[in-house]
Structure 1
Amino acid sequence: MADAKVIPFDDDRSRTGASPRPVRRRPGTGRRKGAAEAVAVREVPVGAVPGQPDREQPGGSAVGAAGAAGAGTAGTGATRETGPVRNAADGGRGAAGEPPVADSDGYGTRGGPGAWDRRLAGGLAFLRRRLTGDYEVDEFGYDKELTDQVLMSLVRPLYEKYFRVDVKGIENIPSDGGALVVANHSGTLPLDGLMMQIAVHDKHPAGRHLRLLAADLVFVLPVINELARKAGHTLACSEDAERLLQQGEVVGVMPEGFKGIGKPFSDRYKLQRFGRGGFVSTALRAGVPIVPCSIVGAEEIYPMIGNAKTLARLLGFPYFPITPTFPWLGPLGAVPLPTKWTIQFGEPIPTDGYPPEAAEDPMLMFNLTDQVREQIQHTLYKLLVQRRSVFF
């Protein structure tokens, strides 16, 4: 036993003079060139502060203890070469408030240089797909990738910072399968539809996409037509709506139409007529639930105090609004007021329990239409009572 060699636990044979044992590696797992230089980032024990005696750091007690045990022994002058270590307790920051340390593959933590590299690479890949035509568009013209990465990103600052939309009852929209969301319409310009679309996508646990049914005027305007198609909007007709619902999509409709967004400010939050109940017939044929939706805050963005009907007829518009700022301030008058919005999705009304011929029953359609309208109106009054201020 006198001539036995003692090998330390960490198998550092360079310290004892023993010949190193060959290392076996599986094919494809060899070290990259220059990996040794990348590993030796800090020659200090883990958990120690440079220039100060070794001590445990907050959130890294276990790692610090292992560093103290694996560091060089007293009198040998050896130090432990540590690779990049991230402290999970402080969000990836090192000791004493050091900046995030990059991973060994070159990508950093959130907000580090690696995150920007990934964003740049993703943006370049997106541009390459757009230029080469390597993207998908459905039969209605909906471009999911463009909508998620560009169109919604352009409108999201209005949703989050300007109107500060508060969403309630988002869990009433099913996680899968078709559903028909029926909402009130207001605001002179149809910004409420865009805010509702972002609310469903950003707040729903399943990240669902809302396919809005738009009026025919939207699809005759030169630029708006293409953007609306790309964003998933389609013509407000029962055939397109039924096809989307049968495909398992969430479809949004605002039955008030131009009567809702073009009503005077004195009639704010008073629902207009819901048409002839065509949306109820569509939901009955598809067998999907109807989800009432109430939007508060859109009525005040453009207080409509007048309507230039003659000018509207000349331009081919359903109305030409006159507000306290438009047209008196020119383009500046088109800036909406920064009101505080609330969007609440109510309890769904099931339709799958009715027989197939129920879609042709006028009395049933009338009753369901009136039920949806009353539920939206009641929720609007309740939200108005709870609201403390239009802007805050």
Structure 2
Amino acid sequence: MPVEPVVDDIPAVEAAAGLDFAGLERVVRELFGEEGERRVAEWLAFLRRRLSGVYEVDEFGYDSDLTDQVLLPLLRPMAEKWFRVEVRGVENIPDTGGALIVANHSGTMPLDGLVTQLIVADHAHRPLRTLAADLVFQTPFVGELARKGGATLASNDDAERLLGRGDLVGVWPEGFKGIGKPFSERYKLQRFGRGGFVSAAMRTGVPIVPCSIVGAEEIYPLVGNIASLARLLGVPYIPITPFFPLLGPLGLIPLPSKWLIEFGEPIRTDDFADGAPDDPMLVFNVTDQVRETIQQTLYALLMQRRSVFF
């Protein structure tokens, strides 16, 4: 693991930066009590680590310290208060070892991937390493932030390396076909590609955990696409929703739909014969099994949901 340079004299770093951490801690304790003190102490510890360079970044660019202390906390209010995410089947996520979480993709913007990452961290207490499209890493700032948050290129090589070393990996096989489909086709799964994620799971012998997400389809109802502008900019689509671009930046606020996320029973891949990952028919059959499991679960969750927003 490559580690950033360590500065031994942390008080000297604080002094050089003009920071009085001890004094700030005393003020916080007096104003906000023990809970406020604990939270600020965590932030101060985080700032000390950033100033002194005592934090790790792995070979894929993942910065667990930044993710846990900054990125996920920024997502938490949206998931808990705005989308009011209800989680089921978290016991199907293995406590240890590698596993591949496969989910449906929807919502015009890929917020479902970010929310799933948060849910796994909060409920399974494990980081979820996500597989993202090339476009993410070609976008300035977004690509660097995505790598720091645990994303890597959606390739078999990267997936197998992560799974092989015991990580939880998340993949959304519908890709842009899923998040960019019209609202009229909501909750109808698109094609799952060539099944590369299944062969990666087979080669490493890890279970596949189907994940069904209800609620993301309604956050930005896609009613149109400015195709000519999308081609000009080199992006899959420029969405038209009931509120964007009509309301400008306000149209980028997602609608507060009620979310249900269910993790299904794991599908084992360690009992296949040698050479199974190279058998296209077997890979196709397992891919279809995963897809059909997610599709049927989506239908069941939609029947159980009382309302789109409640």
1:318 aligns to what? 236
Partner Cα separation in structure 2 for residue 117 and residue 344 of structure 1 = 36
Partner Cα separation in structure 1 for residue 32 and residue 92 of structure 2 = 38
Any idea what the Cα deviations from partners look like across 1:314-333, whole Å, max 9, x if unmatched?
Answer: 11110111011000100001
CA contact (8 A) 2:43 2:69 kept: no
Partner Cα separation in structure 2 for residue 150 and residue 364 of structure 1 = 42
Q: In structure 1, what residue type is equivalent to 2:114?
A: L
Question: Which secondary structure does the structure 2 equivalent of 1:222 belong to?
Answer: coil
Q: C-alpha displacement at 1:184, in angstroms?
A: 0.4
Partner Cα separation in structure 1 for residue 33 and residue 170 of structure 2 = 41
2:126 aligns to what? 208
Q: C-alpha displacement at 1:145, in angstroms?
A: 1.1
Q: In structure 1, what residue type is equivalent to 2:235?
A: F
1:355 aligns to what? 273
CA contact (8 A) 2:46 2:69 kept: no
Partner Cα separation in structure 2 for residue 258 and residue 374 of structure 1 = 19
Any idea what the Cα deviations from partners look like across 1:65-86, whole Å, max 9, x if unmatched?
Answer: xxxxxxxxxxxxxxxxxxxxxx
Q: Whose helix fraction is larger, Structure 1's or Structure 2's?
A: 2
1:249 aligns to what? 167
Q: Does 1:199 align with 2:155?
A: no
After superposition, the Cα gap between the structure-2 partners of 1:361 and 1:310, relative to the gap in structure 1 and judged at 3 Å, is: same
Q: Does 1:122 align with 2:50?
A: no
After superposition, the Cα gap between the structure-2 partners of 1:382 and 1:115, relative to the gap in structure 1 and judged at 3 Å, is: closer
2:143 aligns to what? 225
1:186 aligns to what? 106
Partner Cα separation in structure 1 for residue 194 and residue 82 of structure 2 = 35
CA contact (8 A) 1:285 1:356 kept: no
Partner Cα separation in structure 2 for residue 129 and residue 200 of structure 1 = 25
Any idea what the Cα deviations from partners look like across 1:157-209, whole Å, max 9, x if unmatched?
Answer: 110000000000011111000000110000000000011111111112xx011
Q: C-alpha displacement at 1:116, in angstroms?
A: 3.1
Partner Cα separation in structure 2 for residue 252 and residue 114 of structure 1 = 37
Question: Which secondary structure does the structure 2 equivalent of 1:356 belong to?
Answer: coil
Unmatched tracts of structure 2, length 5 or more: 1-25
CA contact (8 A) 1:182 1:255 kept: yes
Q: C-alpha displacement at 1:132, in angstroms?
A: 2.0
Question: Which secondary structure does the structure 1 equivalent of 2:217 belong to?
Answer: helix
Question: Which secondary structure does the structure 1 equivalent of 2:242 belong to?
Answer: coil
Q: Does 1:367 align with 2:285?
A: yes
Identity of aligned residues (%): 69
Task: Report the more deviating stretch, 356-365 or 117-126.
Answer: 117-126
Partner Cα separation in structure 2 for residue 359 and residue 371 of structure 1 = 15
Q: Does 1:173 align with 2:114?
A: no
RMSD of Structure 2 on Structure 1 (CA): 1.6
Partner Cα separation in structure 2 for residue 337 and residue 119 of structure 1 = 30
CA contact (8 A) 1:296 1:383 kept: yes
Unmatched tracts of structure 1, length 5 or more: 1-105
Q: C-alpha displacement at 1:215, in angstroms?
A: 0.3
CA contact (8 A) 1:218 1:224 kept: yes
Deviating above 6 A after TM superposition, structure 1's stretches of 4 or more consecutive aligned residues are none
Any idea what the Cα deviations from partners look like across 1:247-291, whole Å, max 9, x if unmatched?
Answer: 100100010000000000010000000011111100000000001
CA contact (8 A) 1:296 1:341 kept: yes
The one of 140, 145, 157 equivalent to 2:60 is 140
After superposition, the Cα gap between the structure-2 partners of 1:357 and 1:154, relative to the gap in structure 1 and judged at 3 Å, is: same
Q: Does 1:333 align with 2:251?
A: yes
The one of 277, 281, 296 equivalent to 2:199 is 281
Structure showing greater radius of gyration is 1
Partner Cα separation in structure 2 for residue 246 and residue 214 of structure 1 = 18
Partner Cα separation in structure 2 for residue 209 and residue 245 of structure 1 = 13
Q: Does 1:153 align with 2:73?
A: yes
Question: Which secondary structure does the structure 2 equivalent of 1:344 belong to?
Answer: strand
Q: C-alpha displacement at 1:112, in angstroms?
A: 6.1
The one of 280, 296, 300 equivalent to 1:382 is 300
Q: C-alpha displacement at 1:118, in angstroms?
A: 3.7
How many residues align? The count is 283
Partner Cα separation in structure 2 for residue 390 and residue 195 of structure 1 = 18
Partner Cα separation in structure 2 for residue 372 and residue 119 of structure 1 = 41
Q: Does 1:299 align with 2:217?
A: yes
Q: C-alpha displacement at 1:114, in angstroms?
A: 3.6
The one of 195, 208, 225 equivalent to 1:290 is 208
Partner Cα separation in structure 1 for residue 87 and residue 40 of structure 2 = 32
Partner Cα separation in structure 2 for residue 192 and residue 128 of structure 1 = 32
Q: How high is the TM-score relative to the length of structure 1?
A: 0.70
